[in-house]
Amino acid sequence: MGATQAGAAGGGQTRRAVLIGGAVLAGAGLAHEALTRLRGRPSVAEKPRVPGAVDFPGARWIPASPANYRHANRPADYAVDRVVVHVTQGGYGGTVEVFQDPAHQAAAHYVVRADGGVTQMVRELDVAFHTGNRSWNERSVGVEHVGFVDRASSFTDAMYAASARLTATVCRRYGIPVDREHVVGHAEVPGTDHTDPGRYWDWDRYLKLTRRAHG
């Protein structure tokens, strides 16, 4: 699975420690704004959340388990400056199932199928546990591609086209340059032991399509 299963990936233990510490300091627990101030970040009104709404037009919303991401208010609390490309190493149904499993402790924001269908499972506002590196989780949007790193046939024309439109939309939203420094594979995240998207992923083609969609 492209998204990494590890408690440290999303900082789950650290998050609980912050919440517990806040409760001790305040006696009855601190509000989101107070916690933000404690972290040294400016207090910003949280963006509204509409049930079932998606960040990418045409995507299907299937929510991941809340245990597999951290509630946030990006980019107000964490700047977003990377897109991370993953490969699921499994089928679509299995990917959705594990991202909805609280024991998995990992999920990506999006899943792209071979037919070009896009499913969103974590809001871009939130920090998905998808890289195995806390700071990279906080700064990135994770895009899973259904398939296998050792099968070139996994990466279809429809998948490339849909994923490029998705990544172009994300890059345009946050002002992320469409280049190999900012659009990276999971294998390039510091500290990871993953190899996706692998040698069959056509980076030149992908970036060309993404730049064209970006306009």
What pLDDT score was predicted for residue 37? 37
- What pTM, to 2 d.p., does this model score? 0.83
The structure tokens listed for 58 are: 């045409």
Q: What percent of the chain has pLDDT over 90?
A: 78
Distance of CA 186 to the CA centre of its chain: 11
List pLDDT tens digits, range 178-196: 999 999 999 999 999 999 9
Q: Is 173 exposed, middle or buried (0-12, 13-18, 19+ CB in 10 A)?
A: middle
* Alpha-carbon separation of residue 170 from 5, 25, 133, 177, 182 (angstroms): 24, 38, 20, 10, 11
Q: Does domain 57-214 sit in CATH 3.90.1200.10? A: no
Read off the pLDDT band of 46 (50, 70, 90). Answer: confident
Distance CA 1, CA 159 (A): 18
Q: Is the pLDDT of residue 42 over 60?
A: no
In the chain, helix, strand, coil percent, each to 5?
A: 35, 15, 50
Token match 């998808």: residue?
A: 130
**Which pair of tokens denotes residue 153?**
């046939």
Residue ranges of the domains in the chain? 8-45, 57-214
pLDDT of 58 strictly over 90: yes
- Per residue in 21-30, pLDDT (tens digit) is 333 323 333 3
